[in-house]
Structure 1
Amino acid sequence: MEPVGLIPCAGKGSRLSLPFSKELFPNVHTTSYSPILMYTINAMKEAGIRHLVITVNPDKSDIIKFLGNGSKWGVTLSYCVHAQPRSLPESIDEAYHLIVDKTVAFAMPDTYVQPANFLRKLVISHREDPTREVTLGCFQTDNPSKFGMVDFVEDSGKVLAVYDKPASSTLQWMWGAMVWNPSFAESIHQFVKQKNAGNSSSKELILSDALASLIEQRKVNAHRFHHGRYRDLGTYDEIRLWSKNE
């Protein structure tokens, strides 16, 4: 089954407070305008994925205007509007009707990831083991408070737990992308439905919590990019370092 790509662009971008969608911030290493969102789109194209689903909120019409139907970029784009963006699981669930029966390659829109073919490698890794439902693309970090940190069995890569943005951690690997089977889309859908049923709490839903049952069943694996690099460009500090190639 050919994967469909899923890119969540429904966040408010409050950390940068730009007058345009943060995903359209220019790639400072190119001689002509290309937004950082194109890193992720190009990685999906390189992985052979031609149908991409993008979730947006109503204030991000500039993304739709720039990307159009995707033909200019060699892909087909579908958009899902997340009217009240609250959390990543809810943003993903907005696309439930398009991904429910699909294998999904999932990556963030405001990141710089190396190697450039990380998604292709992740898709191949996922297909190698029919027992797994989710494969996490993992990268080393020394800043655990920004990421979902992954504990796994060293030899097999079986994931034991994911800890979301711990204040400190001895773990070295964070997840930065995923490939999942249709069952996980159903898991997210039920997770969001159950958490929001009669719940007036403003507590943000965490994607790693939706993984918990599959982790318990040992159906989640970590694919490590030992020479990879993952950079979250959601803050000015990271953009400044990235612009200097630091």
Structure 2
Amino acid sequence: MKKTSWISKLTSTIATGTAAFMLFAGFASAHVTVSPSVAQTSAWQTYTIKIPSEKELPTTKITMKVPEGVAFKQYQPLAGWKITTEKNDSNEVTSITWEIDGDNEGILAGQFQQFNFVAQNPKAEAEIAWDAFQYYSDGSIVEWTGQPSDANPHSITTISEDPAAAGNAAAGGGHANDGHDSAGTEGATGDNAATDDSKANDDTTLGDALNDTVTGEPNNTDTDPGTLKLQQATLIVSILALILSFLGIALATRRKKR
């Protein structure tokens, strides 16, 4: 009887711990992010904001503030989402909002959504912060406005004059320059190549940025390997927790009968 009681307690403890781990796994790395994280000064840049769902409720609206010094130009329309902007007295866009439209249920649990827009970067080097506000169907709001060490950090993009840094951003989804990578064209070496690429970045146009825009689909859940692995791990842990819970209940029932 003591043995059964010990096993029951152990099983219950494991089940509780597993459930806690499952909850943690569901929230791990679930941050609103804006990419690229490094971009060229003065360039017309294609940006992508990625919104994951971190609750068991659908996300129905997202508002993003445009950082000071960034000139918002255009957004990419997306079926199922109504997109609006706010402007100041100088007719500059200060924020953009994506809100569900029609039959769209929003970003459901285990899903994420990406939105694309074009903006012109500041002329001087800087770190720009993208404050975002995520609205859920129950009216709750998650404010992604904290520092990198906070629980809800805002995403940061480093604006740099270094063509190599801008090239790294382009490789991660930044702007194109008519076939010229900011890190240097294939086969180009030395200071002359760096100088040519720097000039190419300065001459980046709105057309160049728009040519690099990725066509989005509502509630895209299958294109991020990291998200898929997280979902699979969460499912496995959830099943394990369920099995252990039933085992604990069975052992407890058996003990009572004795």
TM-score range, shorter chain: under 0.3
With normalisation by structure 1, the TM-score equals 0.24
Larger radius of gyration: 2
TM-score for the superposition, normalised by structure 2 = 0.23
